[in-house]
Amino acid sequence: MKYDLDHRIARATALAEVYPAAREILTFYRELAVFQKSVSEDLRARPETDVRALVRYFPALLDVVSRNGPPQLTSFAGVNLDTSAKQEEILLACWEGDAAADPASSGAGRFYARALLQPYAEYLASRGNIQRDAAEPRCPFCNGLPVVGVLRGEGDGAKRSLLCSLCATEWLYRRVICPSCGEENKDKLPVFMADQIAHVRVDACDTCQTYVKSVDLTKDGHAVPVVDELATVALNIWAEEHGYSKFEPNLLGM
Ligand SMILES: [Zn+2]
Ligand SMILES: [Zn+2]
């Protein structure tokens, strides 16, 4: 099942009422998703496949961030994204995965690049022929890492899939295995849940101390995994206080 940007926008609006502690995050995310939708429609209309073409959307993105985002992101942009050459550099560094050698390795650089690369990568993935049962911890289309797991009830054993943090491709992955280090011993893979959040859980690994959250669609069929993941930031804080690091941060760097 595919969750398009309209689903994500609607879900962010709805969840802002349900999780008051995450309202600010969700409002910002919703405005970003509205922006990404316009980029996505524009890319489809052209159609454009050169990543450098994304530079043209930077002014609109900077505007969305200055109106809705945290001030650190705006001040980062004032210094590091004030020319189209710098914007292109950050985009390319993030796209080519050369994060360590570039300002895009900072949280803010990653954020700006990904806000644009996500609709672009998702557009490319929509035209690709993807092997969704690859059973690897990385995205079978773009090699990105998963931002969240998705649990569905299918037949006797509920299935897990992983959702790519970059191109939003979903692919099947075994349920009892750590996507970070491959640990398969159930005793080393604790699952944590919070009373107030029945449909999102923390799948942790005591071997490599990472975690991935999973959204259980059998418990909330209205969930839109990428949005419900953002809304339940309380679980991230809990996991990190208990010594686990997130396998892959979401768009907002959490
Ligand atoms: Zn991907
Ligand atoms: Zn592990």
The Å distance, Cα 81 to ligand 2 centre, comes to 36
For every residue of the chain, DSSP letters joined together read ----HHHHHHHHHHHHHH-GGGHHHHHHHHHHHHHHHHHHHHHHHTT---GGGGGGGHHHHHHHHHHHS-HHHHHHHHHHSSSHHHHHHHHHHHHTT-GGGSGGGSHHHHHHHHHHHHHHHHHHHHHS---TT---SS-TTT-PPEEEEEEE--SSSPEEEEEETTT--EEEE-SSS-TTT----GGG--EEEETTEEEEEEEEETTTTEEEEEEETTT-TT--HHHHHHHTHHHHHHHHHTT-EESS--TT--
What is the per-residue pLDDT across 50-60, written as a single tens digit (0 to 9) for each? 999 999 999 99
pLDDT at 134: 74
What is the per-residue pLDDT across 117-153, written as a single tens digit (0 to 9) for each? 999 999 999 988 888 887 899 999 999 999 999 999 8
The Å distance, Cα 20 to ligand 1 centre, comes to 31
The Å distance, Cα 195 to ligand 1 centre, comes to 32
Q: Is the pLDDT of residue 100 over 70?
A: no
Q: Per-residue pLDDT averaged across 95-102, rounded?
A: 64
Query: Would you place residue 47 in the very low, low, confident or very high pLDDT band (cuts 50, 70, 90)?
Result: confident
What is the per-residue pLDDT across 6-26, written as a single tens digit (0 to 9) for each? 999 999 999 999 999 999 999
The Å distance, Cα 142 to ligand 1 centre, comes to 4
The Å distance, Cα 204 to ligand 2 centre, comes to 8
The full set of domain ranges for the chain reads 5-127, 146-246
What is the per-residue pLDDT across 166-220, written as a single tens digit (0 to 9) for each? 999 999 999 999 999 999 999 999 999 998 999 999 999 999 999 999 999 999 9
The Å distance, Cα 54 to ligand 1 centre, comes to 18
